[in-house]
Amino acid sequence: MYIVQIASECAPVSKVGGLADVVYGISRELEMRGNVLEIILPKYDCMRYDHIWGLHIEYQDLWVPWGNGAIHCSVWSGSVHGRKCFFIEPHSNDNFFNRDRYYGFPDDAMRFAFFSKAALEFLIKADKHPDIIHCHDWQTGLIPVLLYEMYKFQELSHPRVCYTIHNFRFQGITGTDILSATQLNKPEYYHHHERLKDNTHPTALNFMKGGIVYSNFVTTVSPKHAFEARHTDQGYGLGDTLHIHQDKFGGILNGIDYEQWNPEIDPLIPSHYTMATLDNKYGNKEALRDRLMIRKEFKPIIAYVGRLDSQKGVHLIRHALFYALDKGAQFVLLGSSPETSINNDFLQIKQELNENQDCHLEIGFNEELARLLYAGADMIVMPSMYEPCGLAQIIALRYGTVPIVRAVGGLADTIFDRDFSDKAITARNGYVFQEADYKGIESAMQRAIGLWYDYPEQFHKLVLQGMQYNYSWQHSGQHYLNVYEKIRKK
């Protein structure tokens, strides 16, 4: 099959969050299975150019019809760790992608509407005829709309679209001016409940809704989250739309790359280990303590790695830190927030705890330290408010670190409580709590810390049970192929 992924991020060249890892991971898996795969991305100024090999202009003069005229673009291509990527570079005074960061501008909706249209124009001009177009999140929600309303009358007569939603909170809600810019026009047609009209703001259009309505199949990144998006407020207003389109909606759990995340060979950790040599994991705990100047005492280390935003349950992360210290554990945190106020809160806690030798907060992101944390910690906490899939808990299992998670979305689909679960005792792999309150997280942490101190051999067993799990792309890759096959035949 010939598959084109269109997205706003791809790891490691343009990464803000898990979306980037997924776009790369799924592409690699599908290619290994013998499919032809290409990825179309914006050419951001702020990308990691050191991760692109052989970058060159592939297509010189792409004119993308826009508003009353057209915008001139160059399309570059290069290889990102083996994946063939195209990068669209518009030349206009809008400077859509020549900025110091990926998102967070008042014209974000325009920027990605333009990117979506340019990606389709490029496919036509370069005479590409993919069997499947797979697009992701609100940024590319207009792709199926443009395709079915505009481009199917041109050369792109029958590609099928799979649309994956990684985060329902950001939907691309915007004004109707986007219709004249993209030349879709006809506001009375598009600004209609059955098409792009936002379900909550009556004057607005919604890209993600368009993506749902017009795609051949819609997925989100775990089965549990597919349920939550339809039946709870986690659909952020799109529950009704999903309900109408339920026959083409489902959840497919993300994977991680089991070669890239492998404690046996990970070049960024000092002490390698497997299930058979688990004792060597301790070398990483010592290295982590040396690096972060945490004292060497007989105590478990609990970690948090990831973005610090309200989705992740910042108040519970903060509480976990103090609770851990109180219960005789050590705590390390690595993460940062797009919101300055949250960053400042954690910087203040860092200052308050400056003298405390049982904890360390690192506000920022550093891949090498992240890996040392996964390898060196005994447990990680993920008290998310909502979590479409979550990757950190899967990485933690792989590195023999016990996840303590809230039972939402992908966390509930991947982690099974040691004491209370429907799973067989030997298939349990962590600690799970239900309510997003202090009592909830305390109950889970208390049980985890207690097991570590009082029943070390049981804790060891729990670690091994987690390492036995295989949440690699192999499984998810097959699920996506099934979806592709299904919609291709229609």
Q: Which residues are 78's β-sheet partners? A: 85
Picking from 107, 103, 137, 153, the residue whose alpha carbon sits closest to that of residue 210 is: 137
Residues that bind ligand GLC in the complex, under the rule CB under 6 A: 17-19, 22, 166-167, 221, 254, 387-391, 410
Q: Smaller CB distance to ligand GLC: residue 284 or 429?
A: 429
Burial bucket for residue 33 (CB in 10 Å: 0-12, 13-18, 19+): middle
Cα→Cα distances 81→24, 28, 84, 281, 322, Å: 9, 9, 9, 28, 41
Q: How far is the CB of 367 from ligand GLC (least distance, A)?
A: 17
Task: Identify which of residues 117 and 136 has a Cβ nearer to ligand GLC in the complex.
Answer: 136
Q: Which residue shows structure tokens 């280390």?
A: 301
How do 379-382 and 402-406 pair as beta strands?
parallel
Cβ proximity of 215 and 351 under 8 Å? no
To ligand GLC, the closest distance from the beta carbon of 68 in angstroms equals 37
**What sign has the CA pseudo-torsion 366, 371, 220, 14?**
positive
Give the Cα separation of 16 and 139 in Å (integer): 13
Residue whose C-beta lies closest to ligand GLC: 18
- How, if at all, do strands 359-363 and 330-335 pair? parallel
Q: Identify the bridge partners of residue 62 per DSSP, sorted by sequence position.
A: 73
Find the shortest distance in angstroms from Cβ 19 to ligand GLC: 5
Nearest-approach distance from CB 65 to ligand GLC, in angstroms: 32
- The DSSP element (H or E) to which 149 belongs, if any, is helix 142-149
Considering the complex, what minimum distance in angstroms separates the CB of residue 173 from ligand GLC? 18
- Rg (C-alpha) for the chain, rounded Å, is 23
> Mind giving me the DSSP string for 267-301?
TTSSS---STTGGGHHHHHHHHHHHHT----S--E
Q: Minimum distance between the CB of residue 55 and ligand GLC, rounded to whole angstroms?
A: 26
- Host H or E run for residue 395: helix 392-398
Looking at the Cβ atoms of 78 and 390, the one nearer to ligand GLC is 390
Q: Minimum Å distance from CB 312 to ligand GLC?
A: 9
Tell me whether residue 166 or residue 209 sits nearer to ligand GLC (CB atom).
166
CB closer to ligand GLC out of 253 and 451: 253
Minimum CB–partner distance for residue 21 and ligand GLC (Å): 7
- Tokens coding 455: 């029943």
Closest CB 462 distance from ligand GLC, rounded Å: 23
**Under 8 Å between Cβ of 258 and 470:** yes
Question: Is the Cβ of residue 404 or residue 449 nearer to ligand GLC in the bound state?
Answer: 404
Which residue lies nearer to ligand GLC by CB, 146 or 238? 238
Tell me, what DSSP letter sits at residue 100?
S
